[in-house]
């Protein structure tokens, strides 16, 4: 069957309140953020994607009952015909650069990875999949999408999506979510068929949502009507496609990070970072063609730039990964040779956190609130494709695609 198709979506009827109704994907929402989104509007999508139990009713069945009630009372309305939903998200990166990313919600075939039409790059875990499966069984609705990338070598998909979003056509809906401006256009008929024909060129690569995809495949195996799920596809040629690194911030005591330099010199050329240097720019320049990292510690005077030596004996480290695609990743090398060495350098139990914002990570380290921050350059989209093509998986927290795809712009019944 075609890899993607138009579908009959359901959308909130109160278009003026959409900014108070949408939320990020469930797996990036903290408990405090869940409370904040829930307080914005009693019909915020977070009440469905992160439901709470009601009396003797499980959280999953409470979500299903709530969804049924919302449908009956007109909170959601069903669009009249199968459609593709084109969405433009305008946003700023942590460094202040502005971009607009354009993608499309479609109905994606839920099929095993063995078909090689949808390819992963991430290892999944049983717990989150069981959680999402129970919610899917109860609601029989795709409440959230997965995020996919289309290679789009000739730029055909990017051009078609830009034609929808940048030709002066008034959007069908607008919203703002955490500073990201959102515009949505519903496209049907011949135009929708033309878009899905272009998007059906396999393979598509999962950027975010591996657990949700595998959940949908498992559910399709027990419910033949659920052969498609909600997907959001962006062209790899889209000018607004941004991948951030997830910098490591380490909290620990009893560790002298500078003492590790002796061991690091076996693999890296190490240079002191001048106090006034732009650390992000320095790291970016050093990483052109080579793997690099910047280690920041209290005060900033002893920050170090590490650049992988051409003769570094990486072959002696099989734990870097089983394929060349993974072994060549900045995150794989830096995680093993720098981050893990810092974590193992003392007797106290360390805490490792992550941040896509380099300035925030540097502030924590320089102020002495954290032991160290390890900054990395971002993983390239081409590297994501190479790892997936090699049927391998990346280390955890290898990519951070921004912005996240909003939940609540459109939902899809599983039997559509």
Residue 55 — very low, low, confident or very high, per pLDDT cuts 50/70/90?
A: confident
Token pair of 50, please? 């992160």
Token pair of 413, please? 């019944």
pLDDT at residue 329, as a whole number = 96
* pLDDT tens sequence across 196-241: 999 998 799 999 999 999 999 999 999 999 999 999 999 999 999 9
Token pair of 355, please? 């941040």
* pLDDT tens sequence across 264-320: 999 999 999 998 899 999 999 999 989 999 999 999 999 999 999 999 999 889 888
Spatial separation of the C-alpha atoms in residues 371 and 378, rounded to whole Å = 22
Spatial separation of the C-alpha atoms in residues 295 and 258, rounded to whole Å = 10
Q: What domains are defined for the chain?
A: 4-242+401-413 (3.90.1530.10), 246-377 (3.30.1760)
* pLDDT tens sequence across 67-86: 999 999 999 999 999 999 99
* pLDDT tens sequence across 4-50: 999 999 999 999 999 999 999 999 999 999 999 999 999 999 999 99
Spatial separation of the C-alpha atoms in residues 414 and 109, rounded to whole Å = 11
How much is the average pLDDT of 57-75?
97
Determine if residue 284 is left, alpha or beta; phi over 0 gives left, psi from -120 to 50 gives alpha, anything else beta.
Answer: alpha
Q: Which residues contact 414 (CB under 8 A, 6 or more apart)?
A: 136, 140, 141, 142, 219, 223, 225, 226, 228, 229
pLDDT at residue 61, as a whole number = 96
* pLDDT tens sequence across 157-187: 999 999 999 888 999 999 999 999 999 999 9
CA distances from 401 to 177, 199, 223, 336 (A): 16, 20, 32, 23
Strand 204-208 versus strand 76-78 pairing type: unpaired
pLDDT at residue 416, as a whole number = 64
Spatial separation of the C-alpha atoms in residues 170 and 184, rounded to whole Å = 9
pLDDT at residue 54, as a whole number = 84
Q: Which residues pair with 269 in a beta bridge?
A: 307
pLDDT at residue 168, as a whole number = 85
Spatial separation of the C-alpha atoms in residues 238 and 232, rounded to whole Å = 14
Token pair of 6, please? 């138009």
Residue 95 — very low, low, confident or very high, per pLDDT cuts 50/70/90?
A: confident
Spatial separation of the C-alpha atoms in residues 202 and 402, rounded to whole Å = 24
Q: Which residues pair with 186 in a beta bridge?
A: 85
Handedness of CA 120, 146, 148, 287 (dihedral sign): negative
Spatial separation of the C-alpha atoms in residues 252 and 270, rounded to whole Å = 23
Residue 333 — very low, low, confident or very high, per pLDDT cuts 50/70/90?
A: very high
CA distances from 253 to 157, 328, 337, 367, 368 (A): 51, 31, 20, 15, 11
Half-sphere exposure of residue 282, counting CA atoms within 13 Å on the CB side? 21
**Chain centre to alpha carbon of residue 157:** 20
Distance in Å from the first CA to the final CA of the chain: 14
* pLDDT tens sequence across 362-389: 999 999 999 999 999 999 999 999 999 9
């Amino acid at each position: 069957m075609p890899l993607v198709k138009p579908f009959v979506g359901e959308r909130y009827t109160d278009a003026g309140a959409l900014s108070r109704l949408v939320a990020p994907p469930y797996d990036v929402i903290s408990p405090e953020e869940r409370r904040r989104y829930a307080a914005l509007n009693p019909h915020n999508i977070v009440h469905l994607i992160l439901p709470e139990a009601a009396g003797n009713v499980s959280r999953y069945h409470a979500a299903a009952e709530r969804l049924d009630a919302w449908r009956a009372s007109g909170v959601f309305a069903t669009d009249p015909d199968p459609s593709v939903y084109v969405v433009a998200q305008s946003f700023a990166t942590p460094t202040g650069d502005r971009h607009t990313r354009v993608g499309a919600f479609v109905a994606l075939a839920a099929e095993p990875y063995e078909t090689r039409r949808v390819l992963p790059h991430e290892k999944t875990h049983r717990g989150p999949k069981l959680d999402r499966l129970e919610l899917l069984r109860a609601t029989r609705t795709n409440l959230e999408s997965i995020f996919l990338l289309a290679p789009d070598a000739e730029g055909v998909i990017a051009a078609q999506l830009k034609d929808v979003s940048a030709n002066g056509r008034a959007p069908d809906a607008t919203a703002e979510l955490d500073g990201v401006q959102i515009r949505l256009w519903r496209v049907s008929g011949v135009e929708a068929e033309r878009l899905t024909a272009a998007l059906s060129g396999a393979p598509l690569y999962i950027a975010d949502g591996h657990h949700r995809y595998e959940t949908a495949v498992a559910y399709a195996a027990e419910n033949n009507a659920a052969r498609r799920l909600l997907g959001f596809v962006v062209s790899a040629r889209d000018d607004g496609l941004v991948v951030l690194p997830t910098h490591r911030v380490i909290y620990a005591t009893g560790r002298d990070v500078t003492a590790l330099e002796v061991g690091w010199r076996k693999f890296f050329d190490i240079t002191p970072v001048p106090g006034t240097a732009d650390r992000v720019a320095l790291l970016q320049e050093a990483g052109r063609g080579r793997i690099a990292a910047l280690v920041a510690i209290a005060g900033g005077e002893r920050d170090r730039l590490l650049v992988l030596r051409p003769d570094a004996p990486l072959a002696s480290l099989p734990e870097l990964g089983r394929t060349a695609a993974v072994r060549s990743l900045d995150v794989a090398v830096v995680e093993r040779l720098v981050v893990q060495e810092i974590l193992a350098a003392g007797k106290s139990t360390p805490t490792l956190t992550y941040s896509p914002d380099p300035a925030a990570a540097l502030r924590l380290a320089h102020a002495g609130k954290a032991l160290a921050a390890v900054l990395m350059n971002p993983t390239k989209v081409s590297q994501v494709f190479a790892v997936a093509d090699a049927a391998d998986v990346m280390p955890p927290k290898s990519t951070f695609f921004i912005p996240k795809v909003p939940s609540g712009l459109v939902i899809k019944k599983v039997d559509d």
